[in-house]
Structure 1
Amino acid sequence: MMTGIGLQRRLWLCFLGVSFLPVIYIIFLSLELTMPWRMVDLNLAQFPGIGYTREPNRFHDSEDPLVDKTLSDGSDGQHTRTTPPTPLSLKVQSTSPARVRSSTEPGARTTKGPDLKGALLTKSPKPTEPPFIGDSYYSEDAPPRTDCPDGIRSRVPQTDFGVRYLDRIPVLQWAKHATPEQYQRLRLYPGTHGWANLDYNTLVSTLSVLNTSANWHMFDDWERRSNGSQCVRCAVVGNGGILKESKKGRDIDRHDYVFRTNGAVIKGFEQDVGSRTSLYTFSTNTLRNSMKNYAGAGYRGPPFSEETRYVFLPDHDRDYLLMKAAATHTPVERGPERSKTPPSYFGGNVTVEKFKMYHPDFIRYIRNRFLRAHAMQTKYKDIYRPSTGAVMLLAAVHTCDQVSAYGFMTPDYMNYSDHYYDSQYHPVGFFINHDLRMEMTLWQQLHHAGLITLYMRQ
């Protein structure tokens, strides 16, 4: 009898054990599924690691100013076009975002250039932010170039832009930035936002050429031309059709510096757009496409003058290769611009002091804090960037004391052709890799905040 009872108990215990196996398996599976996300959160909390100073979360997303979520812009004139508001159908094979490593990332080293110290300015990404955003930047402690009593830097803290504006962000990159530590940090980001598409040897050999004071100062000749002025006054000229018959040429040329970009046709349009070019912004791709697409309007290449400086917006290694070849008067080593003779885009007598190059941190910073478009939440996030004109205008906002913007898109843009030199009306083109509507809204906001003076017909 006892033996039968003992057997029953054993059978009952076995039954209970077998019954609990599914429960144990479900618990184990749940732990296994949640563990990777906890690890990612931990890595993001640690990003970017030792050597970075931390700041409060100063960035906040502004309300989407667009009527719809169409990805847009056509300022560069070379990308696949979309027709809003039809659904996106562009097929692009984009690379995967850079993975955040679990190990700590090397911090920035103090640079030893004149009047320049290095540190890193960061904001810890929110857990919901994808790692590719990279809202951490190199910071340069450089003294102001002027003593302007009412410059942009003194006014921006009193505006809504004070929470996102970094007055120590490096606008330009130069020889001292080409270090192993900085390469490891910036190789996480593709395209113009970092060095993921650039090998270390090309980086060093190119940036080592930019080793004069003229290469790391936007206004390298200000001391010679200031004429006692306390403020750097800049005219930033886009190519928009709003400038046609504007008669703004004289006003533009009165500024201390005149910025232009891409297919800036000047001859024959001086009365509307002026004749001077102090700083010309472009990428190798936009330059080549402008020479092809706007040749009929008279565009033959970058403007030549004694005062003109050439500011590369590096999208790929081809920009570094072209800049090095042009500055050293040697052939382009490889890539689409490979040549047997030195490039002639900038004239045969151009010197290295004429060249500058935007820093990837600056491009990523204005994307993250000023132009965080809907495209960053889509599969097109790796090709989205601010338009070349937007980079130029925001670079002026970060370097000039006073900024007047001409030829940029305004809410009545449909009343004007795409470019001021168009012989017939062409509507503004919209493309997947920029967001012109968001940029248009930003120009309005900067204008109403008193940080720029935007030319508008209405």
Structure 2
Amino acid sequence: MCLLYFSYQTCPNSIRKKILQTDFAEIFLPSVPVLQWAKHYSEQEYERLSHYRGAHGWGTVSADVLNESLAILNTSANRLMFDNWEKRETKSQCIRCAVVGNAGILNGSKKGQEIDQNDYVFRTNGAVIKGFEQDVGSRTSFYTFSTNTFRNSLRSYARVGYKSAPQTAETRYIFLPDHDRDYILMRAASLHIPILKGKDRSSKPPSYFGSDVTVEKFKMYHPDFIRYIRNRFLHSRRLNGRLKYIYRPSTGAVMLLAALHTCDEVNAYGFMTPDFQKYSDHYYDKTPHRVRFFGNHDLRMELKLWQKLHKAELINLYLRT
């Protein structure tokens, strides 16, 4: 089990205690693993999860690729979200997390210092920091991405300074795997070896995470967790139509809901709010443009979920006033 394993027992206001007193108690399953690691692979598990494709299972990954990749994730750092909590000199009873999306509402917010004062800071995809520290902070504890969304971010946001994943001593990298590319990249980056075949093949080892990155820096979301949050928290009508095979929660939604299941307190910044049309799509946009909607995510449903979680006092959602 990959949930926070000790803090909620001492934190008086832990989300896992509060949620049982809300309407979310009926859909909340604390036993679902948030992360996957070496122990999760077996022939029986491969057979079970091969029935689900994309981020929801292992149906798009060969048994060989999956086995040799997950086998690397065999340390406590890979299976525990907050693997360094007990080693911290200053820690409270409760683990406070800032979860930072990339929405335009953060531009001019001056929330950077507040964000950095949390115990951990989650970011995702095109998380541009340089030049925006006053609004979004400077720390990155966890960076959530898939190989596809990461490469898209490198292409799309290079003009505003996004040229690599955050690289700091505290940063951990959490893959949201939706095909074999994620497992292959994680293994190559961990072992510092080239990718010899496939769409991401290269003659040199991946350098996105720094030349001295170690396997302890990597984590991967479990497909059971992605399927669980899709079915119970974000069960969109798109699952009943032609988009059912490509629909999944957005990368930011996975990140926020993972924090909900592991942190004691969640402070969410840069997520969609009812007045989203007042702001540009991203806080780092050089010229304003509207939020774009795509068929593989249901952002309006996610917006409603954030409002419900905020009203239930399970997250503290930043609302511009």
TM-score bin (small chain) = over 0.9
How much is the aligned-residue C-alpha RMSD, in angstroms? 1.2
What are structure 1's unaligned runs of at least 5 residues?
A: 1-115, 117-139
Query: Does the 8 A contact of 1:215 with 1:355 survive in 2?
Result: yes
1:371 to 216, 219, 234: 234
Map of 2:278 onto structure 1 = 415
Check whether the contact 1:151–1:402 (CA below 8 A) recurs between aligned residues: yes
Task: Specify which of 369, 379, 382 is matched with residue 245 of structure 2.
Answer: 382
Q: Counterparts of 1:201 and 1:250 in 2: how far apart (Å)?
A: 45
Contact kept, 8 Å, 1:142 with 1:168, in 2: the verdict is: no
SS in 2 for 1:356: strand
Bigger mean CA offset, 178-187 vs 333-342? 333-342
Name the SS of the counterpart of 2:199 in structure 1: coil
Matched to 2:197, the amino acid is R
Does structure 1 conserve the Cα–Cα contact (< 8 Å) formed by 2:97 and 2:120? yes
Return the offset for 1:144. Answer: 3.0
Alignment of 1:6-405 (within 5 A): 143-146=5-8, 147-225=10-88, 227-405=90-268
Query: Which has the higher relative contact order, 1 or 2, with Cα contacts under 8 A spaced 6 or more apart?
Result: 2
- Aligned partners of 1:396, 1:331: CA distance in 2, in Å? 32
Distance 1:247 1:279, change over 3 A: same
Write the distance in 2 (CA, Å) between the matches of 1:431 and 1:267: 28
**Tell me, what secondary structure is at the counterpart of 2:229?**
helix
Residue 66 of structure 1: aligned partner: none
Q: Separation in 2 of the partners of 1:142 and 1:292?
A: 35
What secondary structure, in the 3-state scheme, does the structure 2 residue paired with 1:303 have?
A: coil
Shift of 1:145: 4.0
Q: Are the counterparts in 2 of residues 321 and 333 from structure 1 also a CA contact under 8 Å?
A: no
Letter aligned with residue 274 of structure 1: G
Deviations along 1:249-292, one digit per CA (max 9) or x if unpaired, are 00000000000000000000000000000000000000000000
Sequence identity percentage: 63
Task: Give the drift of 1:341.
Answer: 1.2
SS at match of 2:208: coil
Letter in 1 for 2:46: Y
Amino acid at match of 1:431: F
8 A Cα contact 1:331 1:343, kept in partner: yes
Within 2, Cα distance between the matches of 1:431 and 1:164? 26
Task: Report Cα offsets for 1:32-81 as digits up to 9, x if no partner.
Answer: xxxxxxxxxxxxxxxxxxxxxxxxxxxxxxxxxxxxxxxxxxxxxxxxxx
Quote how far apart the aligned CAs of 1:340 are: 1.4
User: Distance between the aligned counterparts of 1:237 and 1:335, measured in 2?
Assistant: 32
- How far apart are the structure 1 equivalents of 2:148 and 2:3? 32
Q: What amino acid maps onto 1:433 in structure 2?
A: N
Are the counterparts in 1 of residues 7 and 94 from structure 2 also a CA contact under 8 Å? Answer: no
2-structure distance, mates of 1:352, 1:334: 21
Task: Give 1:455's aligned amino acid.
Answer: Y
Between 410-419 and 221-230, the greater mean CA deviation after superposition: 221-230
Q: Which runs of 5+ in 2 are unaligned?
A: none
CA distance in 2, matches of 1:142, 1:233: 12
CA distance in 2 between counterparts of 1:338 and 1:226 reads: 42
Asked if the contact 2:126/2:157 (under 8 Å) is kept, the reply is yes
The corresponding residue for 1:434 is 297
Query: Does the CA-based 8 Å contact 2:56-2:227 persist in structure 1?
Result: yes
Cα distance in structure 1, aligned partners of 2:3 and 2:269? 31
Query: Structure 2 CA distance, aligned partners of 1:239 and 1:373?
Result: 22
CA distance in 1, matches of 2:278, 2:3: 44
8 A contact 2:140–2:168 mirrored in 1: yes
Structure-2 separation of matches of 1:240 and 1:228: 30
Q: Is the 8 A contact 2:3 2:261 kept in 1?
A: no
Aligned residue pairs, count: 320
Distance in 2, Cα, partners of 1:226 & 1:428 = 42
Q: Which of these two proteins has the greater Rg computed from alpha carbons?
A: 1
Contact 2:3 2:34 in 1 (8 A): no
TM-score by length of 2: 0.98
